[in-house]
């Protein structure tokens, strides 16, 4: 739909349009030309007005030679990396893992500008074919190095029937005003058991966008955990689709937001067939003047009877100046379902704090214990010990920093 008045385009949009046109993504370029970046008048961007938040887009990043260390090291993990959009040569893959490359974007087309830009600009994607019980954590380390750069990169992962795997994707890079637009496409075969953790540890100047799309076949079990702990502006889309009976997804996420930061997790879970379930659970912790957003939409298709899904967002405010925003949405076309949503927001509980202090635990340590306690529900289910510890380390690091 063409708006009655042409939208005034800013520097960010002009750069994007040129980059999209150069990449041959004319449709997306046209979309940005006509509508600009989404503003808060676009329902899905109501709390994250990209036109205001993203003033400039840097040039497309050039392949980088330098490789700074990875953001998190998980002992024993099989590590792969994508630097400035280029898939790096990897060490010999463990059994059951086939590493490859595909060309172009990986996401299913949808009415979303960031998704369009991802598909339009992604040149090559890292592909993984996974089969069997894979004990080693697979880590995909996305980095944007050097001068400020715009990067669109992607991973496309197929997990065979009855297979199990833990995948960690980390996002970091040099301290510059990067824009990252990352896509992950995961297809889970029948009864596959997958844990997929994505962690943003970008610099404060970075804008981090990510879209995780999941397709679950019969009996597949997915646990996702998104952690925003770095970039000044972060938005991750989670789009799980339950496509086979018995499929279940624990869709979880954590916004750790400090002074001046804005973090947004936007989920849309589709229950396409009968007898599937999902348990979306998100937490946001804010300090300073900052903003955390969680939007959660549950879509239940017309014949997807017996769907069981409950969305929950819990906020913890460590300062008075922060904003924590929740937007639950239910779009239910079946009649025999159990669906719900809830959200809570509060400060650290004074009585709990006093109890810990009264046992001799100093205030800072007691607060840390309570914050850790608040997010234990998200971290504890990550069973791989090394990964669990690494995630706990990120949270502790955030608590110590400012």
Partner 1 sequence: MTTPVLEIRNLHARIEEREILKGVNLVIPQGEVHAIMGRNGSGKSTLSYVLAGKEDYEVTEGEILLNGVSILEMEPDERAAAGLFLAFQYPIEIPGVATMTFLKAAINAQRKARGEGELSTPDFMRAVKEAGAQLNVDSEMLKRPLNVGFSGGEKKRAEIMQMALLKPSLAVLDETDSGLDIDALQVVSKGVNALRDGKRSMLVITHYQRLLNHIVPDVVHVFSDGRIVESGDKDLALQLEAKGYADYDGQAA
Binding site for partner 1 (CB under 8 A): 350-352, 354-363, 365-366, 369-370, 372-377
Q: For residues 308 and 386, what is the distance between their CA atoms, to the nearest angstrom?
A: 32
**4, 16 in Cβ contact below 8 A?**
no
Nearer residue to partner 1 within complex by CB, 37 or 312: 312
Where b means 16+ CB within 10 Å and e means fewer, 193-208 reads: bbbbbbbbbbbeebbb
Smallest separation (angstroms) from partner 1 to the CB of 235: 27
Biggest CA–CA distance in the chain, Å, is 66
- Per DSSP, the chain holds a count of helices (H) and strands (E) of 7, 20
Q: For residues 75 and 62, what is the distance between their CA atoms, to the nearest angstrom?
A: 30
Smallest separation (angstroms) from partner 1 to the CB of 393: 16
Nearer residue to partner 1 within complex by CB, 332 or 361: 361
**CA dihedral (125, 221, 253, 300) positive or negative:** positive
Smallest separation (angstroms) from partner 1 to the CB of 227: 17
Instruction: Give, rounded to a whole angstrom, the gap between the first and last alpha carbons of the chain.
Output: 44
Q: Taking Cα atoms as reference points, which of 188, 318, 173 lies closest to residue 249?
A: 188
Nearer residue to partner 1 within complex by CB, 330 or 356: 356
Nearer residue to partner 1 within complex by CB, 62 or 352: 352
Smallest separation (angstroms) from partner 1 to the CB of 104: 43
What are 352's strand-pairing partners? none
Smallest separation (angstroms) from partner 1 to the CB of 349: 8
Nearer residue to partner 1 within complex by CB, 338 or 364: 364
Q: For residues 129 and 116, what is the distance between their CA atoms, to the nearest angstrom?
A: 25
Smallest separation (angstroms) from partner 1 to the CB of 370: 7
198 φ, ψ (degrees, to nearest 5): -120, 135
Smallest separation (angstroms) from partner 1 to the CB of 348: 11
Nearer residue to partner 1 within complex by CB, 205 or 356: 356
Nearer residue to partner 1 within complex by CB, 335 or 350: 350
């Amino acid at each position: 739909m063409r708006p009655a008045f042409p939208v005034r385009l800013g520097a960010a949009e002009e750069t994007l349009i040129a980059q999209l046109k150069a990449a041959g993504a004319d449709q997306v370029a046209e979309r940005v030309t006509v509508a600009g970046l989404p503003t808060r008048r676009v329902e899905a961007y109501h709390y994250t007005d990209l036109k205001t938040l993203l003033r400039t887009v840097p040039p497309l990043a050039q392949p980088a030679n330098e490789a700074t260390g990875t953001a998190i090291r998980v002992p024993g993990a099989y590590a792969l990396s994508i630097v400035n959009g280029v898939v790096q040569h990897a060490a010999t893959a463990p059994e059951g893992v086939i590493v490859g490359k595909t060309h172009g974007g990986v996401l299913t087309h949808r009415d979303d500008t960031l998704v369009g830009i991802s598909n339009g600009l992604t040149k090559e994607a890292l592909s993984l074919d996974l089969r069997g019980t894979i004990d080693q954590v697979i880590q995909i380390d996305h980095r944007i190095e050097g001068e400020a750069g715009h990067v669109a990169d992607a991973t496309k992962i197929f997990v065979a029937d009855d297979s199990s795997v833990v995948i960690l994707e980390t996002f970091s890079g040099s301290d510059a005003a990067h824009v990252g637009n990352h896509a992950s496409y995961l297809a889970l075969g029948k009864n596959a058991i997958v844990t997929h953790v994505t962690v943003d540890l970008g610099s404060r100047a970075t804008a981090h966008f990510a879209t995780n799309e999941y397709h679950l076949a019969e009996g597949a079990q997915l646990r996702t955990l998104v952690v925003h702990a770095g970039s000044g502006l972060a938005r991750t889309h989670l789009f799980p689709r339950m496509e086979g009976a018995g499929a279940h997804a624990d869709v979880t996420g954590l916004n750790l937001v400090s002074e001046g930061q804005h973090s947004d997790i936007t989920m849309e879970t589709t229950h396409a067939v009968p007898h599937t379930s999902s348990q979306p659970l998100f937490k946001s912790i804010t300090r300073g003047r900052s903003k955390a957003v969680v939007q959660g939409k549950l879509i239940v298709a017309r014949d997807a009877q017996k769907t069981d899904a409950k969305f929950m967002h819990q906020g913890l405010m460590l300062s008075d100046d922060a904003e924590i925003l929740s937007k639950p949405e239910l779009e239910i076309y079946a009649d025999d379902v159990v669906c719900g949503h809830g959200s809570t927001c509060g400060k650290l509980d004074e009585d709990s704090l006093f109890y810990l202090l009264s046992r001799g635990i100093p205030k800072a340590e007691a607060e840390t214990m309570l914050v850790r306690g608040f997010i234990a529900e998200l971290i504890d289910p990550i069973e791989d010990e090394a990964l669990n510890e690494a995630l706990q380390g990120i949270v502790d690091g955030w608590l110590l920093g400012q």
